[in-house]
């Protein structure tokens, strides 16, 4: 078990954040931004919002034990000590501030919880509940694992707690709306989770290659609402070059775009499509869009782009599939924001970040989704004092909103890992357009059909969407009905 240290002043973080607020300029699109001495841009940091927790809350040194996912690429829940890294120090100070404010001791129990370990992680909590141990007050980890715990009846209804206020900006409105069933909500996320920012999907582009081909600025296309799938395809046309001279299309060549097979999903949601929709009573139903002609058209277009043409390639196979873009031979690639932090520093080419393209210019906005490893937070059904735990979660989330997210988003991502002024605005757009889909959140309970049907069709160049959907629709409907009945 690991526990937080004593309270440490937030002055260090405040002084570091204040350094980004000197001067001002205007980016295309009319957005006022601040500039750092290095000329990079950051949006104004909002540190004024406060939660509604009573000032006199005091839990008399109670220990709050959290079962959390370990083996993360970047810290989310705690760090052992200050290191001088602005994000790590913000996490450390957040936990210390909440511990001091509520007079609680935060105890983090880490368990492996990646995709291949999600069942074992969830079983750890289930076993504790069935044994009557009351070992954990909070569970937080891989989105599928927590959603499965909710479906199995292992999580407390957050709407029945005293202090969680989901009207506050540190909680995701879209996630709350999509995940509430019969008025019950079993998990939440937002600024409390650094992974929610790290695992946003974006489209990366190689600025050096674009200059070589004298292409128009994709940044301006985004801000003008003209960054579409057709525009992406147009900009990648005739970029292909058989660099190794072997006469075949392979990963050693130059391409307009490389897409890992597991990163095909953002095209679906980015085009304004959904797997489920809420009916007039707020009950999730299979969306007509899922089986629509628009989905067929999207699959046709992507299969032609990724398979028939030489303009793009799908990366399949081992872990190396995630990293081809960092070799500098691909103009565009979908990936997680985390990729910029872990793989694109100190490269010999400049890169930029965009939202995933829209379907067409008539689409009102861009839509951003998160990769599945983002974190959800829940309260076990056997918790002894759910109100106390809800106060701790609310305090952690609000403190994260004021300190951790500004450190991560405004400084680490938008300055440290951005190579130009436009990128700052792109990060804002990604964050503002984050959206969720009930079918994607609970995909494990739906035989994974809400992502596998579309993803596999594109990856395997299968354009017979009507047959694919028809072959799986009965199973999907049955699984959804079973899931909803379980919630009742």
- Of 163-172, 300-309, 325-334, the least confident: 325-334
| Residue range 26-54: mean pLDDT, rounded | 46
pLDDT at 418 (0 to 100)? 80
Please give the CATH architecture assigned to the domain spanning 201-367+447-463.
3-Layer(aba) Sandwich (3.40)
Please give the CATH architecture assigned to the domain spanning 2-197+373-432.
3-Layer(aba) Sandwich (3.40)
For the cut 70, the answer to whether the pLDDT of residue 398 exceeds it is yes
Q: How many CB atoms lie within 10 A of CB 251?
A: 17
Entry field: residues in the chain? 488
Sign, CA dihedral 342-345-351-354, equals positive
Question: What is d(CA 376, CA 440) in angstroms, rounded to the nearest whole number?
Answer: 13
| Residue range 38-45: mean pLDDT, rounded | 37
For the cut 60, the answer to whether the pLDDT of residue 267 exceeds it is yes
Report the share of the chain in percent with pLDDT over 90: 74
| Residue range 185-210: mean pLDDT, rounded | 95
pTM for this entry: 0.88
2-197+373-432 against 201-367+447-463: fold identical: yes
pLDDT digits (tens, 9 = 90+) for 138-149: 999 999 999 999
Question: What is d(CA 82, CA 5) in angstroms, rounded to the nearest whole number?
Answer: 10
- Of 4-18, 193-207, 254-268, 419-433, the least confident: 4-18
For the cut 50, the answer to whether the pLDDT of residue 10 exceeds it is no
pLDDT at 348 (0 to 100)? 82
User: 69, 59, 64: which is closest to 135 by C-alpha?
Assistant: 64
HEC assignment per residue over the chain: CEECCCCCCCHHHHHHHHCCCEEEEEECCCEEEEECCCCCEECCCCCCCCCCCCCCCCCCCEEEEEEEECCCCCCCCCCCCCCCCHHHHHHHHHHHHHHHHHCEEEEEEEECCCHHHHHHHHHHHHHHHHCCCCCCCEEEEEHHHHHHHHHCCCECCHHHCCCCCCCCCCECHHHHHHHCECCECCCECECCCCHHHHCEEEEEEEHHHHHHCCCCCHHHHHHCCCCEHHHHHHHHCCCCECCCCCCCCCCCCEEEEEEEHHHCHHHHHHCCCCCEEECCCCCEEECCCCCCHHHHHHHHHHHHHHHHCCCEEEECCCHHHHCHHHHCCEEEEEEECHHHHHHCCCCCCCEEEECCCECCCCCCCCCECECCCCEEEECECCCCCHHHHHHHHHHHHHHHHHHHHHHHHHHHHHHHCCCCHHHHHHHHHHHHCECCCHHHHCHHHHCCHHHHHHHHHHHCCCCCHHHHHHHHHHHHHHHHHHHHHHHC
Question: What is d(CA 92, CA 368) in angstroms, rounded to the nearest whole number?
Answer: 29
pLDDT digits (tens, 9 = 90+) for 164-178: 999 999 999 999 999
Per-domain residue ranges of the chain:
2-197+373-432, 201-367+447-463
- Of 82-86, 309-313, 409-413, 477-481, the least confident: 409-413
- Whole-number average pLDDT of the chain: 88
């Amino acid at each position: 078990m690991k526990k937080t240290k004593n309270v440490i002043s937030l002055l260090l973080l405040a002084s570091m954040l204040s350094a980004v607020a000197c001067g001002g300029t205007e980016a295309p699109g009319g957005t006022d931004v601040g500039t750092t001495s290095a000329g990079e841009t950051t949006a104004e940091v909002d540190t004024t919002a406060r939660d509604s927790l009573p000032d006199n809350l005091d839990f008399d040194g109670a220990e709050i034990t959290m079962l959390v996912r370990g083996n993360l690429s970047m810290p989310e829940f705690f760090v052992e000590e200050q290191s001088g890294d602005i994000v790590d120090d913000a996490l450390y100070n957040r936990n210390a501030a909440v511990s001091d404010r509520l007079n609680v001791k935060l105890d983090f129990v880490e368990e492996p919880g990646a995709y291949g370990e999600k069942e074992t992680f969830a079983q750890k909590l289930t076993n504790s509940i069935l044994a009557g141990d009351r070992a954990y007050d909070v569970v937080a980890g891989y989105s599928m694992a927590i959603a499965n715990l909710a479906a199995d009846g292992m999580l407390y209804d957050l709407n029945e707690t005293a202090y969680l206020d989901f009207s506050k900006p540190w909680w995701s409105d879209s996630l709350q709306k999509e995940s509430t069933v019969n008025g019950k909500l079993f998990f939440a996320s937002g600024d409390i989770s650094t992974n929610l920012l790290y695992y946003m999907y974006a489209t990366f582009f190689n600025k050096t290659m674009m200059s070589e081909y004298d292409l128009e600025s994709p940044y301006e296309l985004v801000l003008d609402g003209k960054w579409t799938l057709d525009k992406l395809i147009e900009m990648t046309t005739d970029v292909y070059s058989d660099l190794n001279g072997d006469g075949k299309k392979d990963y050693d060549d130059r391409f307009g775009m490389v897409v890992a097979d597991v990163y095909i999903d953002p095209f679906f949601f980015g085009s304004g499509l959904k797997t489920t929709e809420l009916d007039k009573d707020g009950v999730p139903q299979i969306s007509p869009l899922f089986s629509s002609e628009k989905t067929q058209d999207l699959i046709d277009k992507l299969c032609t782009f990724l398979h028939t043409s030489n303009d793009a390639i799908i990366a399949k196979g081992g872990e190396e599939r995630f990293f081809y873009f960092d070799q500098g031979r691909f103009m565009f690639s979908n990936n997680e924001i985390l990729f910029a932090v872990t793989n694109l520093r100190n490269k010999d080419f400049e890169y930029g970040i965009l939202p995933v393209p829209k379907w067409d210019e008539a689409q009102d906005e861009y839509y951003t989704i998160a990769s599945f490893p983002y974190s959800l937070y829940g309260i076990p059904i056997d918790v002894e004092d759910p109100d106390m735990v809800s106060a701790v979660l609310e305090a952690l989330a609000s403190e994260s909103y004021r300190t951790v997210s500004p450190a991560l988003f405004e400084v680490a991502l938008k300055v440290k890992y951005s190579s130009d002024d436009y990128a700052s605005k792109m990060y804002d757009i990604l964050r503002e357009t984050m959206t969720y889909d009930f079918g994607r959140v609970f995909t494990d309970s739906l035989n994974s059909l809400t992502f596998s049907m579309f993803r596999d069709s594109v990856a395997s160049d299968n354009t017979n969407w009507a047959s694919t959907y028809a072959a799986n629709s009965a199973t999907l409907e049955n699984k959804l009905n079973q899931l909803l009945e379980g919630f009742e």
